[in-house]
Structure 1
Amino acid sequence: MPAGSDRREAARPGRPPEPRHYLFALTDGGGTVPPEVGVVRRLADRGHRVRVLAETSMEKAVRAVGAEFVPWRPEPAPHGDVPGHAAYRDWETRSPWKLARGMADHMIAGPARGHARRLLAVIGPERPDVVVTSFVAFGAMAAAEAADLPFHVLVPNIYPIPVTGLPPMGTGWKPARTGLGRARARVAGDASTRMLGRYALPRLNEVRTELGTPPLRVLWDQVHRARRQLLLTSASFDFPAHPPSAVRYVGPVLDDPVWARAAEWRVPDGDGPLVLVALSSTYQGQQRCVQNVVDALARLRVRGLVTTGPGLDPHELRGGGHVEIVRSAPHGEVIDRADLVITHGGHGTVMKALVAGRPMVVLPHGRDQPGNAVRVAARGAGVVVRRTASPGTIARAVRKVLDTPAYADAAGRLGHRIRTEVEHSPLIDELESG
């Protein structure tokens, strides 16, 4: 389904009173690319001038929505621009210190100086009205601040900064209901902030000193200096919380990735329920997990469509029979025909499944996925199993969800609320008024 044709997206009539000049500073976070480029598309469609600083891995997606592409590196990379996060092999460690250092090195502090200098160079005489950044583009935020330009931050998932009411990111915990539970959540959130700050804050403050801006006391203060933090998720999906006043729930952006929109696919043979399998658009060491899912579906009277994404070669998996394995398919289109979605819990796939009213089996790998998974389970819209689960365990979970109408009913009710949020999203109003 091409971007812009999604029937769930409300059309906003007319043009803005005055076209504005937006400069986006985006990083390639895999699943974060479609929603962030979707925001770019919405502004370009309304007649604004939109320039996008991004890795060359995003060039095709940016140009496809009618925006101007500007690479982070002014000179061409010899083999294409590889996103910094690609070297961050977070799935290989469970050490919180190593995870924090990797995030600081590859996503936040490591690129900060280069991002800041490049953004200031691109601003030049073509000074934009507004800067919009990815959540991890801390150097770009600091440069916009130094240039006295208003900036917004896009958060294309659940809120990652510790706040009262929300379980700490990555834990998969439910909201605390007791004083002891709230204390545990507060301690865990403070600890994660300190760990990440230990590796990222000194280097980020060096960049800020070079820019002539005062140092930060806490790492998250850089994000809090944004005029708006735009959460591209659903308030109905999230747990009740008390985020800072600049945080706005603007609903999910449901665009498919550019590499999947024109992909050819067919419904697998047979007459059983159709199960879509979508486990990450980036590599997270998921081959064994995907194979276990394929083997689980082979035991059941279902039809399986397995999409591996760019990070995994379909030929590395054993399929056959009523299970079709392809690299990509337009999820927005396939989910409408599916009876069940099996996913790692990536925010985009979860939102699309819920909007379509489809229940899920979630095998979270890491990052924000445990948090998405616990929200799905808490709403009764699916079940969660470990990513290391055996084919037998996965098959039982699939059978349970397919045989229990309450899961589909709950997904349908939640999906209705999310669709309403999408149709009445304040996203464009927030961007055009800021």
Structure 2
Amino acid sequence: MMTSVLFVTWDGGGNVPPMLAVASEMQRRGHAVRVLGHPSQRAAVVTAGLAFEAYSTARSWTALKPRSGLRADLAYAAVFADRRLGRDVVRSARRSPVDRIVVDGLLIGALSELCRAGLRYTIFVHTLRAAMYRAVVRGPLGAVLHVRGLRPAHLYEIAELELVVTDPLLDVRPRANAASIVHTGPVFAERATQSTFDDPPAEVLVSLSTTYVHGQAELLQRIIEAIAPLPVRVIVTTGPAISPDEVRPSSNTDVHAYLPHADAMASASVVVGHGGHATTLLALAHGIPLLIIPTNTSFDQPVIGHVIAAHGLGLTLDKRASTEAIRDAVVELIRRRSYRDRTGEVGRRIRGAPNGAVVAADRLAGRAATAG
């Protein structure tokens, strides 16, 4: 039986690829798929071979625009609370009815409008569920959403399904509404393999956020300087928000605007990252220890850093950490065998499980219900 699905996303960087992977898997199976998002996402969606529809009345947005501090937090909160975005979703679903509406779990304004319109929806959680739920219900973002008259906890509770595209053993499973929460496992565009980092020389991959974060170029420079004295090869990817010209490489460092992480991780000994979910889980799938330095403390990065450290999969430092602290952490991750043993175990388990996109597509196709 063919299922029609409307995927609802926003221009946020790492949240986009896993949803597009699930949408592509649905389309590969013959289901009807379209993606609703910000105009800046058109190229990525079309390149993935999917039908794209832009929001017609929602406020314009791109995650690459420079913002800092409180201004950045409020700008993101405005996107997540945007009811106009939700009304665009409702209009799209009524104009071309679908069986499923799958909405990024941060878009609380969209969920609220779907609830008001009596349309059922599936929540797509692109990171640890514990981190996303905590962010929208508590803390600064939760406070902004409540002030705007939104009820995130209720909107999560009434969802017909939650697809959580992460490793269930790293997440905290909620007690309430657990039957409708499905941990699919992480979604990868390419198959991961065990890193060959036991073969010298050691290699360190440094990759921070693909979105604009104030001070990120300075942090990249500090990481480069911290690792410069070590007898290792360093690969740095800056992403679209930073030009490679903004950092000064040392003699052991190669800087790239973009490099497929699956290729770079094939021989990496350590990954230094910001705690982004996608890069973190891909490193674990390759069996690589991590040094997490959160660049944005308002969402999931500190939570992911804490989980990595608590499970013995790596270390976490504050973004103000000194070059000496960063260097010491990298040396410890390379030298101490326990980190490699633990990440190796987790990597084998992740690689042996089905791709999360396949599991998510199975659930969407198997539990189709008219969304209106």
TM bracket (short chain)? 0.7 to 0.9
Deviation at 1:100, TM superposition (A): 7.0
- Name the % identity: 28
Query: Which residue of structure 2 aligns with residue 276 of structure 1?
Result: 205
Residue 79 of structure 2 is aligned with which of 107, 112, 115? 107
Deviation at 1:141, TM superposition (A): 2.2
Matched, 1:199 2:138: no
Please tell me whether the aligned partners of residues 205 and 271 of structure 2 are also in contact (alpha carbons under 8 angstroms): yes
Deviation at 1:204, TM superposition (A): 4.7
Give the secondary structure class of the aligned counterpart of 2:52.
strand
Please tell me whether the aligned partners of residues 20 and 49 of structure 1 are also in contact (alpha carbons under 8 angstroms): yes
Output the CA distance in 1 between the equivalents of 2:263 and 2:174: 33
Give the secondary structure class of the aligned counterpart of 2:347.
helix
Please tell me whether the aligned partners of residues 130 and 149 of structure 1 are also in contact (alpha carbons under 8 angstroms): no
Question: Once the two structures are superposed, what CA deviation does each residue of 1:256-292 show, in whole Å capped at 9, x if it has no partner?
Answer: 7xxxxxxxxxxxxxx6311110111112121111101
Query: Which residue of structure 1 aligns with residue 167 of structure 2?
Result: 234
The number of aligned residues is 353
Residue 412 of structure 1 is aligned with which of 324, 344, 348? 344
Paired AA for residue 376 in structure 1: I
Matched, 1:334 2:317: no
Residue 305 of structure 1 is aligned with which of 227, 235, 250? 235
Deviation at 1:151, TM superposition (A): 1.1
Please tell me whether the aligned partners of residues 115 and 139 of structure 1 are also in contact (alpha carbons under 8 angstroms): yes
Please tell me whether the aligned partners of residues 235 and 251 of structure 1 are also in contact (alpha carbons under 8 angstroms): yes
Paired AA for residue 399 in structure 1: V
Output the CA distance in 2 between the equivalents of 1:337 and 1:64: 29
Query: Which residue of structure 2 aligns with residue 118 of structure 1?
Result: 88
Query: Which residue of structure 1 aligns with residue 325 of structure 2?
Result: 393
Shift in CA distance, 191/342, structure 1 to aligned 2, threshold 3 Å: closer
Matched, 1:363 2:296: no
Please tell me whether the aligned partners of residues 154 and 229 of structure 1 are also in contact (alpha carbons under 8 angstroms): yes
Residue 112 of structure 2 is aligned with which of 142, 149, 165? 142
> Could you list the runs of 5+ residues in structure 1 that have no partner in the other structure?
1-17, 170-188, 206-217, 257-270
Query: Which residue of structure 1 aligns with residue 53 of structure 2?
Result: 70
Q: TM-score, normalised by structure 1?
A: 0.75
Matched, 1:223 2:193: no
Query: Which residue of structure 2 aligns with residue 210 of structure 1?
Result: none
Query: Which residue of structure 2 aligns with residue 151 of structure 1?
Result: 121
Query: Which residue of structure 2 aligns with residue 60 of structure 1?
Result: 43
Paired AA for residue 396 in structure 1: D
Deviation at 1:65, TM superposition (A): 2.3
| Pairing 1:236-251 to 2, within 5 Å after superposition | 236-239=169-172, 241-245=174-178, 246-251=180-185
Q: TM-score, normalised by structure 2?
A: 0.86
Give the secondary structure class of the aligned counterpart of 2:365.
helix
Residue 34 of structure 2 is aligned with which of 51, 61, 73? 51
Query: Which residue of structure 2 aligns with residue 262 of structure 1?
Result: none
Matched, 1:372 2:304: yes
Give the secondary structure class of the aligned counterpart of 2:266.
helix
Please tell me whether the aligned partners of residues 121 and 161 of structure 2 are also in contact (alpha carbons under 8 angstroms): yes
Output the CA distance in 2 between the equivalents of 1:230 and 1:203: 26
Output the CA distance in 2 between the equivalents of 1:315 and 1:86: 17
Give the secondary structure class of the aligned counterpart of 1:275.
strand
Aligned-residue CA RMSD in angstroms? 2.7
Paired AA for residue 92 in structure 1: G
Give the secondary structure class of the aligned counterpart of 2:236.
strand
Bigger radius of gyration among the two: 1
Query: Which residue of structure 2 aligns with residue 40 of structure 1?
Result: 23
Shift in CA distance, 38/202, structure 1 to aligned 2, threshold 3 Å: same
Deviation at 1:243, TM superposition (A): 4.9
Residue 314 of structure 2 is aligned with which of 382, 390, 394? 382
